[in-house]
């Protein structure tokens, strides 16, 4: 955790000292789909869209939530359940504005020693079996930096297009970054469908799967009104028709 905080604060202090807006600081726990964010950074797609982002990794969701609560990071990636849990544990309001990918309720994560299978999470009987991994920013950050959020969406689309066109190059980079073999990376990604912005927009509709999933999980947690608070479709609309 100390390394995560030091990494994101080091660049933030430099930005503050220069008088410019600091980078968006986003933390995450291991999930194969997150490697596309590191690919976006490495290939310059984030910079090309005019947004500066600093990505940090932690093996502990608790550490990520604590850093978010303290304002040490601006956002996080995780499942919708992770976002709801974060919402329940911090007065800050994480709002998911991108659905990075979808998978079954049994998933695999990347670890530095290989691939680890994760069992199905405990859910309510009427909860959907489909799991959505999302990118969320604090509500106040989304309000202050809507252009940066939309730029993240556009950079994500560019990254997925690059990975589809240059599959070997993309897989080699992501495997090296995750410190796994290409075969292990491909195994971890096999059960995940990464989503372009065009595919994401219907998910955020009032009657869409994301709202349905949040409402089902919120009911199990006795957390009324979570869907309206947790989902932010505006950056996808602002990003335009790419993807």
3-state secondary structure of 107: strand
Higher per-residue pLDDT: 13 or 29: 29
Calculate the alpha carbon distances from 63 to 55, 70, 242 in Å.
Answer: 15, 11, 34
Task: Specify the DSSP element, H or E, that contains 75.
Answer: strand 75-79
Does any domain span residue 157? yes
Run of H or E including 201: none
Asked, for residue 28, whether it belongs to a domain, the answer is: yes
| pLDDT recorded at residue 229 | 81
Shortest CA distance to 184 belongs to which of 193, 172, 194, 196? Answer: 172
Task: Using the predicted structure, report yes or no on whether residue 90 has a pLDDT greater than 60.
Answer: yes
| pLDDT score of 20 more than 90 | no
Within a domain: 79: yes
In a domain, 243, yes or no: no
Q: In CATH, what number is assigned to the domain containing residue 13? A: 3.40.190.10
Give percent of the chain with pLDDT exceeding 90: 61
Chain-wide mean pLDDT for the chain? 84
Per-residue pLDDT tens digits for 32-82 = 999 999 999 999 999 999 999 999 999 999 999 999 999 999 999 999 988
Q: Which two tokens stand for residue 157?
A: 């689309």
Residue 91 lies in a domain: yes
Q: Is residue 217 part of a domain?
A: yes
For the chain, what is the domain count? Answer: 1
Buried b (16+ CB within 10 A) or exposed e, 49-71: bebbbbbbbbeebebbbbbbeee
Q: Distances in Å between the alpha carbon of 77 and those of 16, 25, 132, 176?
A: 25, 11, 11, 21
Q: What is the pLDDT of residue 11?
A: 44
The domain of 158 spans 2-238
pTM of this structure: 0.84
* Residue 172 falls inside a structural domain: yes
Whether 129 is covered by a domain: the verdict is yes
- Condensed to tens digits (0 to 9), the pLDDT of residues 96-137 reads 999 999 997 555 556 544 544 443 333 444 445 689 999 999
Residue with tokens 């608070």: 229
Could you tell me if 177 and 32 are in contact, meaning their C-beta atoms sit under 8 angstroms apart?
A: no
């Amino acid at each position: 955790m100390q390394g995560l905080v030091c990494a994101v604060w080091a660049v933030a202090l430099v930005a503050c000292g220069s008088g410019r807006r600091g980078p968006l600081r986003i933390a995450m726990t291991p999930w194969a789909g997150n490697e596309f964010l590191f690919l976006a950074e490495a290939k310059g797609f984030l910079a090309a869209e005019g947004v500066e982002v600093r990505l940090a990794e932690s093996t502990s969701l608790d550490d990520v939530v604590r850093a978010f609560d303290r304002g040490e990071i601006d956002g996080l990636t995780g499942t919708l359940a992770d976002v709801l849990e974060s919402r329940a544990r911090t007065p800050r309001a994480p709002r998911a504005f991108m659905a990075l990918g979808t998978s079954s309720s049994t998933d695999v994560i990347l670890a530095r020693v290989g691939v680890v299978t994760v069992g199905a999470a405990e859910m309510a009987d009427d909860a959907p079996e489909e799991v959505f991994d999302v990118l969320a920013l604090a509500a106040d950050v989304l309000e202050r930096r809507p252009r940066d959020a939309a730029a993240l969406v556009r950079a994500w689309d560019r990254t997925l297009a690059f990975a589809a066109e240059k599959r070997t190059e993309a897989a080699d980079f992501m495997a090296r970054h995750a410190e796994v073999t290409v075969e292990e990376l491909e195994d971890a990604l096999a059960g995940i469908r990464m989503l372009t912005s065009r595919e994401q927009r219907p998910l955020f509709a009032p009657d869409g799967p994301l709202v349905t999933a949040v409402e089902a999980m919120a009911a199990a947690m006795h957390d009324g009104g979570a869907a309206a608070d947790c989902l932010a479709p505006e950056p996808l609309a602002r990003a335009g028709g790419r993807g």
